[in-house]
Structure 1
Amino acid sequence: MTTAPTAPTAPATDSVSPGDLAPLRAADRATLADVRRLARLADGIAGGTVPLGERRAWALGDWVERVSEEIRHRHEAEEALLWPVLERHAGRTLDLSGLRDDHVALRGLLGEVRRGTRGAVDAVQLRPIAVASAEDFARLRRLARLLGELADLLDEHRRDAERELDEVLARVPREDWRRATRLLHAGAPDPAFTAARARAAAGPDEVAAVEGALGGRGLTGALARRGLRRRERSVFGS
């Protein structure tokens, strides 16, 4: 007997609102901005216009690891927590195969970025940038290219997800979505890092939603933001 395709449910009367999406979208913007400026930083170091001492090298490596872990967690949580909610309310009309393929490609690229960063940082521990070898500069140029590719793929994935999922989100009851996103935020590998950066990237109409979702224990407060700025200066300068 052939089973008829599951029909999508009707739009929920209390469906997901822009405010419910604001914390994830602000975090997305913060991550993308970070990867782009990391690419510019690596390019500047490779071009000899940005100095790289041991302290900055360590801070750079730490920042790349934190951003990479954030991306990894986000994509794993999408697949485990968010997408099942969407599938439950969209029926068989939702095709996530393209977004899953993006995740596979991004995982591979993240691995290359992390290995490339560790290689660049380790080299600086051995040889100051002032006496760096041609191989050291080639390694930095490759890192800049990988970071640029990562930023482009993240941006493409974000736009694809928004285009493909917006209609489905109108069918998802708000409480189902909020329950799933609470679990996602609770599992963040570095909640303070994620929260302060999302707060900085939030638009005026998003701040309250971002603080409500991510601001527990003062994670988006002024003290957290000052701590974030100190760490930013160690990586990116003033």
Structure 2
Amino acid sequence: MTSTPDTATRVTPDITGMKIAHRAMLADTRRFALIAGQIAAGSPCPQRRSAAIAEYLHLLCDSIHHHHTVEDDALWPIVIAAAGPAVDIHELEDDHVQLDAILGKLRERASAFAVAGDRRRAATELAETLEAVHALLAEHIADEEKVVFPIIDRYVSLDDWARVEQAAKKGGNLRFEAPRMVHHADEQELAKLKAAVGPVIRLLLNVMVRSFDKREAIIAG
């Protein structure tokens, strides 16, 4: 069981990455719901654009699922061990089950949209699913940040938080995740993220961002 230092001298975990990840999920689901709605209303969507949108949405589903798997397998056990009866995450766990189900539906509709003959109808169905994903994520993230963030701040040790961050790095798609972090971080957060890596990684990040932005241009139409 994790020991908790005196609150007056305690150094708290840096949850910047988790905050940005939440922000990116909400921004992406809202953004693509709007894009799909515009296509349903008649915005041009040639095959290249529909394929890029579907590819991004599949990567987004992978990202969200990975994020919640890390919480289930790494974060929740640490939080429960550290805080004990001070935290109840049963509703958050139930949300993950619901999210997995609706992400499966989003994958299906993204794939159908990519090859649809009736693009506007497929876009309408895709927009509906994205709206549902966004609504569930928004409620879940609000509850998680209200319940879990103060617990992490008060109880979780730096060593235990490092284990969570290490778990997050395993199985994640760096080429997708890193550029999204850059795009959704504010100026102060971005400076902190870049300071934490060496010059080679910063150079590689610039390359990944350029590649990411090329797909973004196609998605934007």
Query: TM-score normalized by structure 1?
Result: 0.83
Aligned partner letter, 1:98: E
- The equivalent of 2:217 in structure 1 is 233
Name the SS of the counterpart of 1:206 in structure 2: helix
Name the SS of the counterpart of 1:205 in structure 2: helix
CA contact (8 A) 2:24 2:180 kept: yes
Answering whether residue 20 of structure 2 is matched by residue 26 of structure 1, we say: yes
Q: Classify 1:172/1:93 alpha carbon distance in 2 versus 1 (closer, same or farther; 3 Å).
A: same
Shift of 1:74: 0.5
Aligned partner letter, 2:168: L
1:81-230 residue pairs with structure 2 within 5 A?
A: 81-123=74-116, 127=117, 132=118, 136-169=119-152, 170-188=154-172, 190-211=173-194, 217-218=201-202, 221-230=205-214
Paired residues, what number?
A: 217
Distance 1:220 1:23 in 2: 19
Q: Classify 1:219/1:47 alpha carbon distance in 2 versus 1 (closer, same or farther; 3 Å).
A: farther
CA contact (8 A) 1:112 1:146 kept: yes
Name the SS of the counterpart of 1:95 in structure 2: coil
- The equivalent of 2:48 in structure 1 is 55
Q: Classify 1:83/1:60 alpha carbon distance in 2 versus 1 (closer, same or farther; 3 Å).
A: same
Aligned partner letter, 1:32: L
- The equivalent of 1:43 in structure 2 is 37
User: Which 10-residue stretch deviates more, 208-217 or 147-156?
Assistant: 208-217
Q: Classify 1:207/1:61 alpha carbon distance in 2 versus 1 (closer, same or farther; 3 Å).
A: same
Q: Which structure would you say has the larger Rg?
A: 1
Please, which runs of 5 or more residues in structure 2 have no aligned partner? none
CA contact (8 A) 1:42 1:144 kept: yes
Name the SS of the counterpart of 2:15 in structure 1: helix
CA contact (8 A) 1:195 1:214 kept: no
Please, which runs of 5 or more residues in structure 1 have no aligned partner? 1-5
CA contact (8 A) 1:85 1:172 kept: yes
Shift of 1:213: 6.2
Distance 2:91 2:56 in 1: 29
CA RMSD in angstroms comes to: 2.3
CA contact (8 A) 1:196 1:221 kept: yes
Distance 2:68 2:197 in 1: 18
Q: Classify 1:162/1:228 alpha carbon distance in 2 versus 1 (closer, same or farther; 3 Å).
A: same
Name the SS of the counterpart of 1:52 in structure 2: coil
Shift of 1:171: 1.1
Distance 1:137 1:218 in 2: 40
Query: TM-score normalized by structure 2?
Result: 0.89
Answering whether residue 62 of structure 2 is matched by residue 69 of structure 1, we say: yes
Aligned-residue sequence identity (percent) comes to 31
Aligned partner letter, 1:186: K
CA contact (8 A) 2:179 2:212 kept: yes
Shift of 1:212: 5.5
Shift of 1:10: 6.3
